[in-house]
Every structure is written in C-alpha cells, then in structure tokens.
Structure 1
Amino acid sequence: MTNFSKYSESLKNCVLITAGLSNIAPADCKTLEAYILDKTKQRVSETTLKRIYGFAYSKFNPSIFTLNTLSRYCDYEGWDDFCKKQEAESARQSNTTVDWDLLKTNAGKITSFTLQAIKNKTGIPYPQTIRRQFIDDHFAAFLQGSYTATVIAAPAGYGKTVALCHWVDEKIQQNSKDIVLFFSSSALMNVFLSGRDLNDWMLSLLGYSTEEDIVALLDVRQRKEGRFFLIVDGVDEHMFKNDQFQLVINQLFDIFSFYQSHEWFKLVLTMRSSTWMNYNHMIEMEQSPWFEGFFSQHNQLSNVPLFSVQEIRELCLKINPAIKSFIAVNVVENFNHPLYFQFYYKQHKKNFSLNDVDHVSVYELISNFVLNKVYMGQHSADKIYLIQAIIEQMDFESGVFEASKLDLINIIKQYNHAYLELLSIGFIREQNISRDFEYKTSIEFSNNHFFEFSISRYLLLKNDNLFNIELINAINRYFTGERKLSILKWSIIYAIKSGQQESFQLLSQTRLTTNEKSDLIIFLGDLLEKEFSALKDTETLVQYFKQDCSDELFDYLFGLEFINHDYAKTLHTLLKFELSDKKKILVYTALATISVLGLEMNKLDEYLKILRGFATVSYYEFSVDPLKCINAIFQYFKYGIIDKEFFKDITRFYFRPPLQLERSVSNDLIFLLAAHTLRLCNEPLKTLRFITVLERYYRPVTDTACVYNFFLKRIKTEEYLALGQIKKAMLLYFELDEAYSQAAEAFTPFMIASFNCIKIIVSFNNRQFSIADDTLEEWANLIINEMDYKLSRVYMFAFLLRNQHAVKHSSERVYKHINYMFLKMMSESGLRADIFLKQNSFIS
C-alpha cells in the first residue's frame, strides 16, 4: 500500500481508459461498477468508486482487494504487477531526454481532457457558443505587463469558463512554444484525498518524479521564448470542505510565490466573485505581480462583463443561422446574462429565436431556475426555510439587504447541506468584509432577480399570499426604483397564477414614477397576453376577460405618455376584455396615434376604418370627437388637405365650452390629441385659445411634473415662439427644463423625445446667427440616434431644413446629410416631403 499515493492517479486513469470514458461524473460510477463486475466477476461498489474518484469523502485508502480488482480490470495480474510495470515505465522515461516539447505533449493531453470534459457539460452546445472579446482584452493586458498571475472573477453563470475554453482552444491551435496545463478544481479533490502536495502532483501529471526540479528543466535554450500557463478553473470554496479549501488556496499561492520570479510562468485562476472577495486579502496587490483584470467602478465583484447586444446577436446566429430579424434592444438586454440565455436556449432548442421574447420572458426563466434548483430535489424544504431566515435578518426600512452570517450560524449548522447547495448553485453568496477589530461576513442573494423573487415570496407569505392593499402598502413602504418595480412584477405574476387578477385595480396605489408605470404597464400587457393564450388551463382568467375592464384598471393602463410599439401590445390585450364602446374607441384612438408617430399610414388607415364602424351616437360621450382628430391628421399627412370639419368642431368647442368637464385619463388623451391636431392649421392663436379654454373649464396648467401639463406647456412654448413672444416661451421652457433636470429618470421615451424637440427649437431661436457646425451635427445625431419616433425625427429634420437660410454660416455638409435622412424617411413612409416642409406644426 505504500505505492498507492504514487500510482493512484495512473490506476484511476487506466480504469477510465479501459472503460472508454473520457471523463467521469458521479452517475458514471454505477456504470463502471457493472463494467468491472462483468469483466473480473468481482464487485467494487458504486460508493467505493465514488470515494476513489473524489465524489465522496473517505478517511482511508482503498483496500488491497479493491486495488487488485481494478488492476485486473486493466489487464494486470494485480496491484503489485501494476506498480512494478509503472516503475519500469518511469525508469524508461527517466532515461529519455526531458525537454520542453515532451513537457508540452504531456500538458497537452491533460488540457485536452479538461477541455473535452467542460465542452460536454456546457448548457449551450460548445460549437454554438462564441468567443468573448473581454477574454482577449484581459489576456492581452495580462501578458503585456510584468505579471505572473491573474484572476477571472464573476458570479455563477457569467460564462467565464466557456470564454476561457475558447481562449485555450485558440492558444493550442496557434501551435506556439507556449505550454498550457489546464484543469478544473474538481481534479484537486483527488490530490487532497491522497494527501499529496499540489506542486508535486502537478509535476507527476507532466511525467516528472518529485525529485526532479522543473526549474532546471525549463532552461532558456529549450524554451525559446515559450511560456508555461497553469490554468485552474473553478477555484471556489463551496467545492471543498473549509479546511481543504484553505489548503488549496495556500498551495496555489505557494506555487505562485515559487515561480513569480520566472517570467515564463503564468498562473490563471477562475473563481466566483464571492471567493475572490473573501480571499484576495491574502495577496498584497500593490506589491506583487497579480493582474486583477478590469473591475469596473460600477461592479467591483466581477471583471467579466455580461453579453453586449452585438454578442447576443452573434450567439443567436450561431445557434440558428436562419434568424433574420431581431427584437428591440431594450428587450434583448434582459438576456445579457449568459445564465438566463442558457435557460432560454434549453426551453427553445428545436426552433431557437428571440423573436418571441418579451418583458415577461426573463421572469419565466428565473421561475424555471428556482423551480428546478430550489423547489425540487433534496433538501428543498430546508432551502426554502433558509431563504426565509436570511430575509428575516434584513432591515428593509434601513435599506439593509444582506444578513449577518453570525446571526444565522445556528440555522446554517442545522441545515448545512441545504446551505451549501444554495451556495453551489449561485443562489446566495458569502462576502467577508471584516476590518480591524471587526468580523463581518454577510450573506446576500447572488443577483437582483433572485433577491427580488425571494422578497416578493416572503412578503406574500407574510400577507397570507394575498395581493391586496396591505401588500401594496408594504412594497411602497420599503422599496423604491427598479427593485420596487421588479418586486411588484413578481407579485403580479403570483396574483395571476393564483386567480387574484381582480385586485389589479389596486395598482393605482403603487406610487411609481411615470416611466416606472410605463414599464409596469407594458409588462402587464405581455403577461395578460400570455395568460390569455393559455385560457383553457385557467378558468378564473376566462371569466376575468369575459367582463368589462374596470374603470380603475383601464385608467391606470391608459395615457399618451406611454405610447410606443410595446404599449400597442398592452392596448391589444385590453381589447380582449368585453369593453364598452367608449373604451374601445379610446383604445383604437391610442393605437392610431401610435401609427401616426411611427408614420405607418397603412395601419393608420386600418384603425380609421374600425373607428368609423362605431355608431355616431357612441361619439356623443366625447367632448371632442377623437375620430375627427385622427382623420384630420391622416388627411393632412397623406394628401396635404386641411380637414375643415375638425377645425369647425374645435371652434365651436372653445366658443361654447361645456360648463363642467370631468377630469379623467381618457379626457387627458383626447384633449392633448386635439391640441396637437390643431397645430396642423399653423394658427398659433387658435391653439392657444383652445388651451386657455381647457385651463378654465377642465384643469389649470400648473405643475410641470404632471404629464398632461407637461405636454400642454410643450405645445404652448412652441406656439409662443411662432408668435415671436420669446419671453413667454422661455419662461415655459425653463419650467420644462427644470422638471426634466429634477426627474429625468421619470420621463417616458415619448416625453423625452418631445422635450428634445423643444430643446433644439428653443436653442435654434436663441442661436440662429451663430450656430457652429458641430452644434448642427450634434442635433442631427440626437435626432437620428435618440428619437425613437419617426414623426419626431421627420418634424425636426423639416424644421432645420426650413430654417437653414436663417443661419449665416450654415454647414452645407451637415444640411446635405439632414436632407438625405429626411427624404429617405419620407420615401420609406410613402409620404410627400413638400407637405412636411411647409411652415406648419404637428405632433412632436
């Protein structure tokens, strides 16, 4: 048995080769047991094999019976015969000239084995994965500097291992003098089970005895500028027992310390962010040749970026080359996390495409992950209890969203298996941020999605799983911003799944900014659409859609400020309810307005036909006829005709206004639409007169933060400029600018586009005789790149083109580009350029 430590690795490798296994997983031990029994007629149990290969802990070496059986399986007479032949082979190799090429060959075998094992386990088939630019940048900086070691640190699922595999693959294909020895930390299990030193084990893997000195072998003449890369993947504490992991770290740092004076030696480690944060104090970064990588100021926990939009596109095409179109950037960015992308791929292998992705998809992926990794399998109840215990230790009111490990130590000891599993799947992480005289190790959720999901479930559990005003008040009290929005979304998902959708009218009590409300509305539209598609499974939802949408929910989901293409899906979902004619007219009016902003004249024509199909009496409920507004815009855009019927109605309205006008979201939309439509006639006084009547009989235009007031002030500003009343215009513009400066994050995309339009117009009026080329170029870029609405872009291009002669030193080059973009958009929309170049105004 004295030779076990010396030849154990050789025997284990020989068994795998005989069994035809390139690598071994715990499930393979059962198969291996059957193979050995069939060939030798002697049984080595699955449990024993798991101990030998490091999948189970063992205090003792295998018995002589086990070693003899394994040796016979490999066609040796027994363990003694195996050891003698290994000694003879070692003696033969010792007489062989040891050189750099032999070292490279031996390392190559191990690296190829590791690569193949990792490639076989990737969530997306390895040939369909992509190279990552960050890894090339990382190694370029690492190798250009005088560094010996580097770390690639990121939370679980960031794709650091796959990215590293691509780099190693490419390195091998270059056929340079460099040597790459690449293995995963799971291989280190065997080292500690055998009681060996990591450095000795590494040398024996390469074919050297412990007595030989690798430094003597790697002389300059043989190396010829070659470098030796020792790469260890997944050096994470959850993989080992505490004392084992400390030994791993110590020995790796010993190797680093030993070789750091040799510039040919490079150590590369990958680990989770929590491991790096807990152990990087062992290295004095400023005094040692460690390259930390590109940790950003925004993310000190990871030097691995998430997918860029370009990388997502490249990966999609690699998986399915038939993809021809891509969804909006704001939706794609939900899939910038490699782990979520992997989940999505597993669910859509047969016909992969992101075209069906919406604002609900990422929540479905997280739910699927939690179901499979937390709610199912061993220790599931323990894991759920632990998650609740961690949240109990947080202080929402003070904004403390982490728990002290000391406060949870008894629970962790009691449910240690569940705790280690939550760590290993990356659901939670530990962070040691101790300082002088203070020990502090905190436990937190690994990412915001896991945290927000868990918080939502916790709040619901404490509220008897009811989606009611008490739940809304709790969310309002403790959370703000993106976190609050996400917790609300998780709660809404639960409400629909549990048949509590009747409570959605309570959403009006959620205290969200306008932009957050817009986000929630689009999410709710996607969610209801998906649930509606599966009505056969949800009887309560069938009944929900067989009634009129409540006034509270309808008003919550409605508003000019929300208008964009995603919002159109929410409006179509509303149409699945048994709506009253008034609500249907409002929905189709909003859909028509979206078509106007997108210059989609065919769609606009379709919605006009639908609106004309309603009985005339249905329009008597409106103070201003929305059909006439939409028709007036269509007639002008398509044919350049001013619809006099509409303007007669508006004239009658402001000379004989209703004595009382009910404040409502629907009236806000209709009056704003009418005010914008009035501008077609290019008579600012008419528009201002109409707004004055609204201020007197409907509601005063005061607080700019109010969406209705924002749009009316925006219109008034431009009309005052057209009349030459600069002082009045500037006072209003300053109010708009202040509102935007104080709460830009609350502005919806349509509000931002509208504000940018007036910003350029005001700036032009103030600087028309001294506009520099770069200013015009800046405006052109703003219009092209940051205005998502075609009508806003066309309007601003037309404004600049109409006024180019007012600029004394106008740039011909910039105006040529503006003219080109303007004519291109007109051609694509099938509209006449001369209509838009007339001196008039319209929706912007």
Structure 2
Amino acid sequence: MENDYNLLQKYVLAKSGIKVISPGNCKEISWNIEKLLGKIVSETTLKRFFGFANQKYSLSKYTLNTLCEYAGFNGWDSFHQTISVSGDGEKLVAHTLWKDFREKSLQVTEVTQKTLKNSSGLPFPYTISRPTVEADFKYFMESDYKFFCLTGAPGAGKTLQMAHLVDKFFLGKNAPYESSIIWFFKQNTSKELLAYDIDLIKLLEDQFNLGEEFNFLEYFHKAPDKVEGKLVLMVDGLDEYLYERWQLDYIFENIIRLIEYLDGEKWLKIVLSVRTSTWSILRNKFEQNEQLNKIWYSGISYQEELKANMIALNKAEITTVLDSICKETGATLYPCECLYNLFSNPYYISLYYYLLKKDINTKGWGDALFCVLVSSFINKKLRSARDYIEKDHLLRKLVRLCENDSSGCQVEKNKLLHGSEGCLESYYNLINEGFLIEAYDDRNFDPHIYVRFLHDSLYTYFLSLEWMDQDDQLEQVISLTEKIKLYPSGRRREMLTKWFIWHYRLKDPDAFIKLAFSGGLSPNETWALLNFSCDILVNMKVELTAAQKTEMVHKSAAFIASHFMELNCLSKRYEKTVSLLLSYASEEQDKAYLLIIQCIMAMLRLDKKALWKGISELRKINENIFVAYFPIHPVHAFEYLFGYYAMDTANTQVLASIENFIRKPPYTQDKSLPQTGQVLAYQFAIFILSLSRRRMDVIAFVETIQYLHPHLFTRESCSGITIHLLLRKAFACLRSNQETQASEIAIKVEKCLSVEKDLTSHSLLLLELLKGEIAMRKEEYRKAVEHFLYAYEHCRQNEFIMLQIYAALPLLKIYKMKNNFKKVVNIFNEVQKAMQEIYFPIKDILLEGIMA
C-alpha cells in the first residue's frame, strides 16, 4: 500500500507540474482538482497525503478515487491494478506525463486545424496534398534531421499542406504518429512573438502549463528510453505579418535558439511554413552555421532555383480539384493553357469556387474565365482598398521599370521604392495580398532584394493598361496591334492580347478581328483569341452588328478551315466556338466551311449522330457553292465515310471524283497557297483514301497536290495541311514496302516541324505513330514501344479515339510477343472504355482486331 501511495504522489505532482512538493503547494493542488473534476479534496487532506501532517487514519476511498482520477486513472482500484500489471512505476509515470501533455497539445492543434479548414477558400476535402511533400515529411520524421520547412509563394497552399500533414500523420485514422505529441501553432503566433517579445522556449513550456520547478523537456532528456513518439512543433504563417528585415531576424534568432536548445534530442522535430523570400534569408543563416545546416532536411521536392518545395500545381492535380468543384456546382469547364497556368496557384481555384457559389452565371465561362478571375481578384484586393492610389502607383511603376530593365520582369526593391517611401505600407500590403513577391539574391558580394509580380496574369494586366494609357491615338487598337507584333511570342503575348480584347469588349466589340487577323500571330495564338472572344460574346451578351458578325465569321471560318488540323480539333472548346460561329453565319460559303469542319470532327470522334446531322445540314447548301469552291464534292465524301463506318452500302461516287482529280486536275499549277475550299477537300479526300487502303492512290493524290501547289511544300510555307499530307503519304509508302521513302518523309516532316513549332498533338502524334511503325519493321521493338506508347497516352488524354486505337494495335502485338499480358489487359480495357460512346458497327470490327 505504501508503494502505491508513493507512486500516486508522483502522478499527482507530475499532473500539477511540481517537481518538489512543499506545504504551500497543497492549496494549489486542491484548487486544480476542484477546477478539473468539480470534486473537493481539502488542503489538510493533501498535507496528510504528502506527509506534512500526522496521518491518524487511512485516506477515504473517495479521496483515493479523486486523486487517481486527477492523475488520469478511472479510480483507486484501476490505478492499483495498472501498476500491479506494469511492475514499473517510473515508466508508468512517464507514460502518464506523455499522454497528459499529448492531450493538452492536441487541444491546441485541433483548434488550429479547425481554424485553418474553416478559413480555406475551398472545402477541405477538395484540396490537394502534394505526394512529394508527404514523402519528404515521412522520411524527415524517421530520420535524425530536426528541421523541415515548407516554402512557396503566397497562395501556393502551404497552410493547407500543413493541415494535410497533421491529419495524415498525427490525427487521422491509423495515423503513423498518433502517439506523438503534435503542437500546431495558430497563424498569428509570429505576430505575438514580435509584439510581446515572447521567447519561443518559454512559450513552449507555458503552452504545456509546465510549472517552474518541473521541465517536461528536461525530464525526457534524462529518460529518453521512456519517450513514446516524437514531439513535433509546427508553425504556420510565420512571416504572414512580418515585413521588415529586422523583424524576420528577431524571429529567426528565436527559432535558432530553440533548435540549439533542443540539440541532441532526436525525438524533437520543428516544421515551419514560410514564403520563398523569407526562406531565402533563413536559409542564408543556416548556411553560415554548419551545425544548423546539418539538421535541416531539404527533401527531394525542394527546388533550389525556386527556393521552394510547394511548387505550382500540375495539370493532373488541377483537374482533380476542378472535377470536385464541377461535380458540386454543376459547372462544366475545359481549361485553356492560360487557365491552367492561373490555376497552378491554388488561390485562383478558391476564387473560382467562390464566384461559382456567388454567381450562377460563372458556370458558362470558358477561356475568358481567366480574365474574370484576375479582374475579380484585382477589384477585391485593389480597387476597393483605402490605399488604392498608392498601390496602383507602385504596380504601374513596377511595370515601367520591368519594361526598361534588362534583367527581366523583376527589379531591385530599392529602385521600386525610391521616391515612393510614403507607399511602404502599401508595398507590404501588395506582398501580403498576393500581387508581388520578393526574392533575396545573395549570389553577389552585395546581396539585393528583388521584387516582381507574383503571377504573369497580373503583370500582363497592368502592362496592357500602361500601353493603352500611353497611346491616345484615334485608332488605338491598330497601334496596339503593331506593338503586339513586336512583342516576343509566347504565353505572355497571348495574355496581353486577351487583355486588350477584354478592355475593349464593350467600347470596340470587333477589336478581336483587328487584333487576331492583322498578321504576326501564330495559328495557335489566333485560335486562342477566337475561343476567348466567342466566350465573351456568349457570356457577356455583347451585341455585334450584322456587318461585324459577317466579317468575324468570314475570317474565322477561313482561318479554322485552313488550320484546324494544327489545332486541338477534338477539344470541346473547339466545338463550342464552331457552333457559335455557325449561328452567326449568314453567307452560305461560310456555312459550308463550318459544317464541313463539324463533319470532320464528328468523323474523328466516330460520332454517328453528329456526322449524320452535319451531312443533313450540308445538303441544304446551294449546290453552286460546292461546284465553285470545292474540287471534290463534300456531301458525297461524307456520305461515303458514313457508309464506311456504318458498314453499309457506301456512295462510291466520291472515289471516282478523287481518281479523276488525280488523272485530270481541275486547275493548273498555282504557286500561291490553296484556297479554303481546296484545303478542306484535300483533308477529307486523304481520309477517304487512307481508310479505303488505296495506298497507291494516297501517294498519287499527295503528289498531284505537290504539283498543283509547289509552294505549299517548301520549308518556309510549311503548315498543318503540309504535315498532314506528307504523313499520310509516308504511311502509304511504308505499307507499300517503300520503307526508304517513308523514312525520308519522316525526316522531312521533322525539318518542317523545326520551322513550324506551333502545331498541336494531332500532327505530332501521327509522326510518333510513323516512327513507331518504321522501328517495328526494323525489329527495334524497344524504340517502337516508346513511340507508340507516347502516341497512345497523348491520344487517350486528348480523346483522339481513332489514333488511340491505331496506337493500341501495335502495342498489343508487341506486348503479347513479349508475354507482358498485364499491359495487354490494361490497354484493352482502356480502349474498350474509350469506345463505349461509339455507335457505328465498325466498333465491333475494331474490337475484334484488338482482341486478336
């Protein structure tokens, strides 16, 4: 009994945070018991319990039960039974201490978790945890490293990633470190540290309510064998309220002292989340201290050039989040490259979700959603700000400095603030709100802090405004067009052009025509602007005059007809744009072009219903249009293709027309490029010959076009139609055992691609399939698999069903030959799934071929 009393005394002292008991402590313990349990154990009774007063009789069962409950047990009997089984009183005391402090730390952590999740712009289940960061954190926890840091730009998702780590590793079901003590700071800790001059070490001890005479860390330092897990300190948003270098230095010194204080304790871990600019300064301090540098774990996800491990979201991660949002809201979104680039920063996905929940009309936006989101961000953070003038001044000034600075789109912080010292608070607000980001460059003897726009969308927005303000001419759009031509091609020029259309959407609705078709832009840039403009016309209900509609449709139809094989012609955005233009079309010639494009798209998707609808609409077009503009009748062509896919009697009249075209071309040699109707006719004619396996006719047909339009096949004039015709000829040569000629064409196509780099996956995938077939004939199976697999994966991602099938067949043949039946089954299942929407009987033939 006496040993049980002695052990219970240790538990009560540990619970109270008292190392050496004195009579005066008994009153404090009595208060603690009443506060915690609502039960009373008098000061006098406690003095008798600890031996400060004579004990004439034993303590009551009530007193013993209450003291045991205070110590963390169910009662005296439970306590007695537990220590009898364990046989190690000191170990039991340590266990109770660890458990008690873990419960206290969990209270702090759970409040922090709840706060972070509730303040997230997205429902927490929709958010993404980065697998590479998780892998790094897991290794860090198992290693001897003591310091790990999440670094990234504002809005990169650092806070949510911290919450994901806490859930997965500490709080979740079957968490690997559920017995560890996790102490997750609230976001405003760094502000408190600075404002009240709090010592992190003291804050750590105070957070656990440790008394002055008892030190939790010291206790387990002396008894490391009794540690039951890890003690992990996680601090989020350390630099959220800190801007000046002296403030950061103060906090960093505090952190470094804490790390040194915990030196030697392998079970102690520190995890921070900071911005890249802040981390650059802290990283520099670590490099100056060899001991500190050794305990920092960078991880495989850390990128030294970016000073970050919280890098931009990739397309797969973005798609996962958007799928969850669209499923909840009913929105449909097919992101363009500009949107993917914007959504790589998770903040803008949160903003999209917010707008969806606030305004149902956001559901209809497509490519122009890019401008809607950035404009909403600027209106929310800038236009309504009390220091709007100061912020706008700094942002415009940064744009001007970036234009004149050879180092790129960043300038020294001192340059930006020179003469604008009164705007210092606004400058820090712009950083905190996600407009600007600082970068610390210590590569030179004299280190500098540089500043740039956090996202290119913001830079191009303010650059477009700056250009417009600089140009007061009457024909402003014409002047801007010349500036755009001189601007280097790429994503930034595309965004700039979109911003001009956005700014002029009401003032000058046909600005798109002036900007897109003035020359100097690549086909993909023009196509991006066309999708963007159609999106604005639909969603903002911008009214065009009849003349504006006619001009827009005429130029757009001619452009799409000439370039659609260079574009992602199966994109849902493409279909939406063509349908809108068709609704605007008033001239039968333009209607014919657009209907033919829809029919080709339906044919590539093997869409029976859409193809028949297109044929029915084409039959309504005046016959004179077909005679005047098309060397091969389009209705006859698509009737043949429909019959072929339907395995029905096909209209062979078109085959006779193509044969006649080869023998007796309807026009003489023309050194100019082919007209729109001719280009479309060449496209569907080559499809017909290829599907009919008339290989020699394919070769003769392409050679006829080479004779009629020699300029089309020069490297300078290389385009999508050139690539497509050459590749079809190469396939025909290869399958006619003319391997040398097929290889020569493949080399020529690659040279063309070196000139025309703005082609999309369709032409490139055809080339990969050709290379795969050439390698397979040479029995270079490893190389063949590389080409076929590349084509197959990209076809699957872009929904090129026909090409996916063509890529699958040789892959299945090689895998079967190599006895890799697992891959055979995987590819077969994927192709079968892709073909579920095909309603042509040819599906059964294709499946039989795949199964064979």
Rate the CA distance shift 1:589–1:393 in 2: closer, same or farther, 3 A. same
1:730 equivalent in structure 2: 743
Rate the CA distance shift 1:790–1:436 in 2: closer, same or farther, 3 A. closer
1:750 equivalent in structure 2: 762
Which stretch of structure 1 is more off in the superposition, 271-280 or 601-610? Answer: 271-280
1:12 equivalent in structure 2: none
Which of 200, 208, 215 in structure 2 is aligned with 1:198? 200
Unaligned runs of 5+ in 2: 1-66, 72-92, 848-852
1:263-662 alignment, distance < 5 Å: 263-284=266-287, 287-297=293-303, 300-307=306-313, 311-312=317-318, 315=321, 333=340, 335-349=343-357, 358-395=366-403, 398=406, 400-464=408-472, 468-509=477-518, 511-514=520-523, 516-517=524-525, 520-522=526-528, 524-535=530-541, 538-539=542-543, 541=544, 546-549=549-552, 551-558=554-561, 559-561=563-565, 562=567, 563-565=569-571, 566-624=573-631, 625-639=633-647, 641-654=649-662, 655-659=664-668
1:122 equivalent in structure 2: 120
User: What is the CA-CA distance between 1:597 and the residue it aligns to?
Assistant: 0.7
Rate the CA distance shift 1:783–1:191 in 2: closer, same or farther, 3 A. closer
> 1:809, 1:506 → 2: CA distance?
55
State the identity %.
18
Q: Which amino acid aligns with 2:350?
A: Q
1:762 matched to 2:759? The reply is no
Rate the CA distance shift 1:154–1:831 in 2: closer, same or farther, 3 A. same
Which stretch of structure 1 is more off in the superposition, 98-107 or 625-634? Answer: 98-107
2:152 equivalent in structure 1: 154
User: What is the CA-CA distance between 1:415 and the residue it aligns to?
Assistant: 1.1
Q: Deviations over 1:426-457 (max 9, x none)?
A: 21011120344323221111123323333333
Q: Which amino acid aligns with 1:183?
A: F
> 2:389, 2:545 → 1: CA distance?
33
Match of 1:239, SS state, is coil
Rate the CA distance shift 1:103–1:699 in 2: closer, same or farther, 3 A. same
1:229-248 alignment, distance < 5 Å: 229-236=232-239, 238-248=241-251
Does the 8 A contact of 1:161 with 1:233 survive in 2? yes
Rate the CA distance shift 1:107–1:366 in 2: closer, same or farther, 3 A. same
Q: Which amino acid aligns with 1:156?
A: P
Does the 8 A contact of 1:326 with 1:354 survive in 2? no
Rate the CA distance shift 1:708–1:320 in 2: closer, same or farther, 3 A. closer
> 1:212, 1:551 → 2: CA distance?
84
> 2:302, 2:558 → 1: CA distance?
43
User: What is the CA-CA distance between 1:713 and the residue it aligns to?
Assistant: 1.6
Does the 8 A contact of 1:522 with 1:570 survive in 2? no
Match of 2:357, SS state, is coil
Does the 8 A contact of 1:134 with 1:305 survive in 2? no
2:45 equivalent in structure 1: none
> 2:122, 2:820 → 1: CA distance?
52
User: What is the CA-CA distance between 1:829 and the residue it aligns to?
Assistant: 2.3
User: Alpha carbon RMSD of aligned pairs, Å?
Assistant: 3.9
Which stretch of structure 1 is more off in the superposition, 255-264 or 125-134? Answer: 125-134
> 1:730, 1:610 → 2: CA distance?
41
Q: Which amino acid aligns with 1:755?
A: L
2:10 equivalent in structure 1: none
Rate the CA distance shift 1:783–1:638 in 2: closer, same or farther, 3 A. farther
Does the 8 A contact of 1:771 with 1:810 survive in 2? no
2:79 equivalent in structure 1: none
User: What is the CA-CA distance between 1:324 and the residue it aligns to?
Assistant: 9.5
User: What is the CA-CA distance between 1:469 and the residue it aligns to?
Assistant: 3.8
Q: Which amino acid aligns with 1:385?
A: H
Q: Deviations over 1:497-543 (max 9, x none)?
A: 432424524323464444x33xx5145325423432432xx44x466
Rate the CA distance shift 1:641–1:403 in 2: closer, same or farther, 3 A. same
Which stretch of structure 1 is more off in the superposition, 205-214 or 709-718? Answer: 205-214
Does the 8 A contact of 2:792 with 2:803 survive in 1? no
Does the 8 A contact of 1:797 with 1:818 survive in 2? yes
Which of 714, 719, 733 in structure 2 is aligned with 1:720? 733
Rate the CA distance shift 1:298–1:458 in 2: closer, same or farther, 3 A. farther
Q: Which amino acid aligns with 2:749?
A: L
Unaligned runs of 5+ in 1: 1-92, 839-844
Rate the CA distance shift 1:597–1:522 in 2: closer, same or farther, 3 A. farther
> 1:111, 1:681 → 2: CA distance?
68
Does the 8 A contact of 1:521 with 1:570 survive in 2? no
User: What is the CA-CA distance between 1:377 and the residue it aligns to?
Assistant: 1.8
User: What is the CA-CA distance between 1:575 and the residue it aligns to?
Assistant: 1.5
Rate the CA distance shift 1:763–1:329 in 2: closer, same or farther, 3 A. farther
User: What is the CA-CA distance between 1:588 and the residue it aligns to?
Assistant: 0.6
Does the 8 A contact of 1:229 with 1:268 survive in 2? yes
1:257 equivalent in structure 2: 260
Q: Which amino acid aligns with 1:244?
A: Q
